[in-house]
Chains A and B, each alone.
Chain A
Amino acid sequence: MSSISLQNISKSYAANMPKAVEQLSLEIADGEFLCLLGPSGCGKTTTLRMLAGLEHPTGGTISIGDKPIVSVDQGIYVPAEKRGLGLVFQSYALWPHMTVTQNIEFGLRLHKVARAEREATVARVMETLGIARYKDRYPNQLSGGQQQRVALARMLALNPGIILLDEPLSNLDAKLRLEMRAELKRIHKEVGATIVFVTHDQWEAMTLASKIAVMSEGELQQLGTPDDIYERPANRFVAEFVGNLPINIVGAGHGKAGDGPLEDWIAEYLGAIGAPDTVASVGIRPEAVAILRTQENTSGFPVRNASVVDVLPTGGNWIIELSVDGSKLFAITGSTPRLAPGDTVRIGFAPEDIHLFDSADERIDFTHSA
């Protein structure tokens, strides 16, 4: 059983500093590919290191399977070297004074694995990662991608049930990232281990993970599948953090007309769809902003005139910067927009494409019934 359970995990480095991790509870099922996602300083790496045993929580319980490995209240603490988890560092942390082979077999020797078995294992993981021909090289004779493969091989040689990865792709160039991404997915499928990885890169999280835990300032913001996270962000932070192009956030000044033309329009819109009064702000992803071609409004919801400020081609997509009487709004389209700065267009969006948040920035679930 390689499920992981974190209960009310807290970590503070000093009494006068804000907690690095605050009351984090997380259940990770056996065989899950979970990503801890968040901006730097959000506590995701600290969480991973607490799992690995390189940091100790100041409160809470961590269990693997149903066996607690850390419990501050019950006085349980299994040191890192006894946990048997696989960890790959962001820096790879290869031992510079050992060859590739020596790096990989170090753990096996430590566990007194018989020579024949050890050699077979080393050969197998080298084969898996395609690094057999570098076996006698030292780490400083390898490229970044090769070093990462060695680091993965070193971890896999011990066949851990749980694999922890710290920013696994961040030090690689674009092409290698694609390659290693596929490699990680394949390893996950082959060894069937539970994988927890940390990243600040939502693309990495979206493409790799079966579940994403979004963190901010030491607290869990949302746990869900990549689609959940994107389509139903639990709060404004998640909505703003996830998404290639920043989401448009517009204040919904209910009853407070005159906040601005954009706000007035949104207020009118919310009224038209019958949204609850508690909505304090609205998030509209750029791809949800529709640029209407025809003059008449077929959507049945309020539309608005906007002027085109700029059109930015991004290779296959076009970002269109719009101005609604001076308020800025971004749209994105996948087809040639045929627009130029200064053009006036009509814009609108469907009620199911917008996200509503209350005054505490929490999501309001609302379905418009036509």
Chain B
Amino acid sequence: MGSRYGSPSGTSASQMRENAGPVSWRYWIKVHASDPTALLALGLLVVFVYLIAAPILLLLGDAFQVHFADQARTGQAQGSFTTYYFERALFSPIAQDIFWEPLVNTATIAFGAILVSLVVGAPLGWLLSRTDLPGKRWYSTALIVPYMLPSWTFALAWSTLFRNRTTGGTPSWMESLGFAPPDWLAYGQLPITLILALHYTPFVILLFGNALRQFDSQLEDSARIMGAGRLHIARRIILPLMLPSLVSACTLIFAKCLGDFGVAYILGVPVGYDVLATSLFRAISTSQAGMSAVLAGTIVLLGVISVVIDMRLLRQATRFQTIGSKGSMNRVSPLGKWKPIASAWVLVVFLVSAVIPLLALVLTTVMHRPGVFTLENFTLDYWIGTGLGTTALRQGILLTPEFWRATTNTLWIVGSAALGAGLLGLLVGIAVVRSPIRIVGVALRQITFLPYLVPGIAFAAAYLSMFAVPRGPLPALYGTSIILVLAILADQMPFASRAGISAMMQLGKDPEDAARNVGAGWLKRLTAIVIPIQKGALVSGVLLPFISGIKGLSLVVVLAVPGTDLLTTYAIRLVDYGYTQASNAVVLMICVIAFVGTVGVQKLTKSNLSDGLGGK
């Protein structure tokens, strides 16, 4: 509208409004009562303050408060403010062992893993997105396999292949073949770094590959027309534009390595090699609440820093409008004489990162003596045998009641957590997108995103500080399966709420308004219109947390007790007892469930794994 025209109901009329009588509170109450979305939002906010914010705050608070057991040592009363735990962690004689060394180890492992995955992953990303590599499509799924499986699967495989006499138990393949693997190869920094690198290489392949795929070849062409050489183009045009995706992959890997517990636990702890996650685990399992809080806080802090860096870079990346523009062309570079070498390289990576570890695990479970390929050495005893001559576990894993209990526990605990996360995620979506009170929506979005900043094992520590004692309406939950359900649920909320929010953003308000118009109340609109329309989003909002929850270890390892064992914690318990074959068998079962689930979800939702990569 251009100019303002006078009207019959000109300014004198609008001045009358001021005398229109007092605002009726009854009116506003009735208006808001007709749409309880604001109430839903507030209710959810309360729930998530309780399930997410409170545990984290309590955990951080624990770092500054004297705990019961430390009253004598600090000379202060329980609950009073103290810097004792920080001093102890940072400056005491044991600081080196429990804090500094693990911190340095964590950092070197994370940076080493980042370096290796860049070196391995970036060329793969390019080969899969911009060249005529044979079998490109097949490889783009096959090379992602390591990410679909739990990271410590590979630690078990490594241990199966390279373990030496430093620790006891079943001899490794190399050992039984007559070689004695040195400690530096069998344990500690090198294997942990390599395994994490291989596990997270898919991040680089996916993020870098996707960025390359969306890169407009016309940008290259215009540089070439101006006379730039190939190397010059790569350095000055492609690299700067690809940098955000690479840095994003790096920060993601860093954050994941921080919280990764299983790999270091299997390959580091037996020889006294600690990272922050295992040091935290030890603090927790020896009930040092104050020390756990300091360690967990450190992990959280590092996690927050890496995520903040990532988000800043992503925001910058959106400024590069050229990426993914409409006229974008993606030209394939012929590999020519390099084709055999490239193919071999891709095949080797696939073999090393997926085939060999899995094969090793499978073979261990069907061989008496590892690595000895004679017919009588093969056996199915570890799966279905009975009356074996062992101290415990005298039958194959499939005949062991504990295994089935862990399986049913996993299915119902992770299942109900995933179901809850999916449903709550959709409700959060509704509340965030539809709530008339914006600030509540914003708060809800932020708070459900919080667990993303808190690596699994630190989140578990937070749950211990919150629920080890009775809080609010709940009794002490440690040792129950409810604490596992709640922790997994809360941990999956970043993904679930984002999925719910984006699903609701795409759904206009008209279908709900139309239902309202024909007489449907709020609950009816939710159950008859919104949820059925969002069925697809809801299914993936349940299944993806389920898969991720099934293979998750670091969150549940401190929360589960033998009675509430999940498959993952059961496998770790078997590792502790030295039942290598049995633990390998359990891990294989997890792999099968995780792999079938992931592929199934991808088929079902026609989605790409890389879309979900930002999530946890």
Is A95 in contact with B533, judged by CB distance below 8 angstroms?
A: yes
Is B8 in contact with A39, judged by CB distance below 8 angstroms?
A: no
Most buried by A among B24, B516, B518: B518
Is B27 in contact with A77, judged by CB distance below 8 angstroms?
A: yes
- Asked whether A368 is an interface residue with its Cβ less than 8 Å from the other chain, the reply is no
Report how many A-B pairs have Cβ atoms within 8 Å. Answer: 142
Is A93 in contact with B514, judged by CB distance below 8 angstroms?
A: yes
> Whose C-beta in chain B lies nearest to the C-beta of A104?
B518
Q: How far is the CA of A52 from the CA of B519 in the complex (A)?
A: 11
Cβ of B16: which chain A residues have Cβ within 8 Å of it?
A: 8, 23
Contact with A along B491-520 (1 / 0, CB 8 A): 000000000000000001011011111111
Is B27 in contact with A81, judged by CB distance below 8 angstroms?
A: no
Cβ of A86: which chain B residues have Cβ within 8 Å of it?
A: 517
- Asked whether B344 is an interface residue with its Cβ less than 8 Å from the other chain, the reply is no
Given contacts A97-B535, A220-B8, contact A23 B517 (CB under 8 A): no
- Asked whether A263 is an interface residue with its Cβ less than 8 Å from the other chain, the reply is no
Q: How far is the CA of A244 from the CA of B574 in the complex (A)?
A: 83
Contact with B along A57-100 (1 / 0, CB 8 A): 00100000000000111111101111011110101011111000
Q: How far is the CA of A53 from the CA of B511 in the complex (A)?
A: 15
Given contacts A81-B520, A82-B519, A237-B5, contact A93 B24 (CB under 8 A): no
Most buried by A among B24, B27, B529: B27
Cβ of A362: which chain B residues have Cβ within 8 Å of it?
A: 6, 8
Q: Of B20, B21, B515, which one neighbours A95 at CB under 8 angstroms?
A: B515
Is A75 in contact with B518, judged by CB distance below 8 angstroms?
A: no
Cβ of B5: which chain A residues have Cβ within 8 Å of it?
A: 216, 221, 235-237, 361
Q: Of A76, A81, A222, which one neighbours B516 at CB under 8 angstroms?
A: A81
- Asked whether A10 is an interface residue with its Cβ less than 8 Å from the other chain, the reply is yes
Is B14 in contact with A93, judged by CB distance below 8 angstroms?
A: no
Interface residues on B, range: 35 or more
Shortest Cβ distance from residue B613 to the other chain A in the assembled complex, whole angstroms:
29
Given contacts A75-B27, A77-B30, contact A87 B533 (CB under 8 A): no
Shortest Cβ distance from residue B519 to the other chain A in the assembled complex, whole angstroms:
5
Is A220 in contact with B7, judged by CB distance below 8 angstroms?
A: yes
Cβ of A74: which chain B residues have Cβ within 8 Å of it?
A: 24, 27
Cβ of A216: which chain B residues have Cβ within 8 Å of it?
A: 1, 5, 7
Cβ of A22: which chain B residues have Cβ within 8 Å of it?
A: 9, 13-14
Cβ of B22: which chain A residues have Cβ within 8 Å of it?
A: 73
- Asked whether A360 is an interface residue with its Cβ less than 8 Å from the other chain, the reply is yes
Is B514 in contact with A95, judged by CB distance below 8 angstroms?
A: yes
Q: How far is the CA of A86 from the CA of B524 in the complex (A)?
A: 18
- Asked whether B26 is an interface residue with its Cβ less than 8 Å from the other chain, the reply is yes
In residues 1-57 of chain B, which contact A (Cβ within 8 Å)? 1, 4-10, 13-14, 16-17, 20-27, 30-31, 33-35
Is A76 in contact with B27, judged by CB distance below 8 angstroms?
A: yes
Shortest Cβ distance from residue B434 to the other chain A in the assembled complex, whole angstroms:
12
Q: How far is the CA of A92 from the CA of B520 in the complex (A)?
A: 17
Given contacts A79-B34, A84-B519, A217-B4, contact A89 B514 (CB under 8 A): yes
Q: Of B1, B30, B511, B521, which one neighbours A217 at CB under 8 angstroms?
A: B1
Is B535 in contact with A110, judged by CB distance below 8 angstroms?
A: no
- Asked whether B563 is an interface residue with its Cβ less than 8 Å from the other chain, the reply is no
Q: How far is the CA of A81 from the CA of B1 in the complex (A)?
A: 34
Is A73 in contact with B14, judged by CB distance below 8 angstroms?
A: no
In residues 256-312 of chain A, which contact B (Cβ within 8 Å)? none
- Asked whether A41 is an interface residue with its Cβ less than 8 Å from the other chain, the reply is yes
Q: How far is the CA of A237 from the CA of B9 in the complex (A)?
A: 14
Q: How far is the CA of A56 from the CA of B33 in the complex (A)?
A: 12
- Asked whether B272 is an interface residue with its Cβ less than 8 Å from the other chain, the reply is no
Cβ of A41: which chain B residues have Cβ within 8 Å of it?
A: 1
- Asked whether A115 is an interface residue with its Cβ less than 8 Å from the other chain, the reply is no
Is B513 in contact with A54, judged by CB distance below 8 angstroms?
A: yes
- Asked whether A144 is an interface residue with its Cβ less than 8 Å from the other chain, the reply is no
- Asked whether B532 is an interface residue with its Cβ less than 8 Å from the other chain, the reply is yes
- Asked whether B332 is an interface residue with its Cβ less than 8 Å from the other chain, the reply is no
Cβ of A360: which chain B residues have Cβ within 8 Å of it?
A: 6, 10
Q: How far is the CA of A361 from the CA of B535 in the complex (A)?
A: 56
Cβ of B14: which chain A residues have Cβ within 8 Å of it?
A: 22-23
Is A107 in contact with B518, judged by CB distance below 8 angstroms?
A: yes
Is B513 in contact with A80, judged by CB distance below 8 angstroms?
A: yes
- Asked whether A211 is an interface residue with its Cβ less than 8 Å from the other chain, the reply is no
Q: Of B17, B508, B524, which one neighbours A91 at CB under 8 angstroms?
A: B508
Given contacts A10-B17, A22-B14, A39-B1, contact A97 B24 (CB under 8 A): no
Most buried by B among A8, A23, A71: A23
Is B510 in contact with A81, judged by CB distance below 8 angstroms?
A: no
Shortest Cβ distance from residue A11 to the other chain B in the assembled complex, whole angstroms:
12
Contact with B along A226-242 (1 / 0, CB 8 A): 00000000111100000
Q: Of B9, B515, B520, B533, which one neighbours A23 at CB under 8 angstroms?
A: B9
Most buried by A among B5, B26, B533: B5
Cβ of B524: which chain A residues have Cβ within 8 Å of it?
A: 110
Q: How far is the CA of A32 from the CA of B594 in the complex (A)?
A: 64
- B residues lining the A interface (CB < 8 Å): 1, 4-10, 13-14, 16-17, 20-27, 30-31, 33-35, 508, 510-511, 513-521, 524, 528-529, 532-533, 535
Task: Give the 6 A-B residue pairs with the shortest CB-CB distance, closest first.
Answer: A75-B26, A107-B518, A79-B34, A93-B510, A77-B30, A360-B6
Can you show 9 pairs from A to B with CB atoms below 8 A apart? A52-B517, A53-B517, A56-B31, A71-B24, A73-B21, A80-B517, A89-B514, A111-B519, A216-B7
- In the complex, besides A73-B27, A97-B535, A220-B8, 16 extra interface pairs with C-beta distance below 8 angstroms are A22-B9, A23-B9, A25-B9, A56-B31, A77-B34, A80-B513, A81-B34, A81-B518, A85-B517, A89-B514, A93-B508, A97-B532, A106-B520, A235-B8, A237-B5, A362-B8
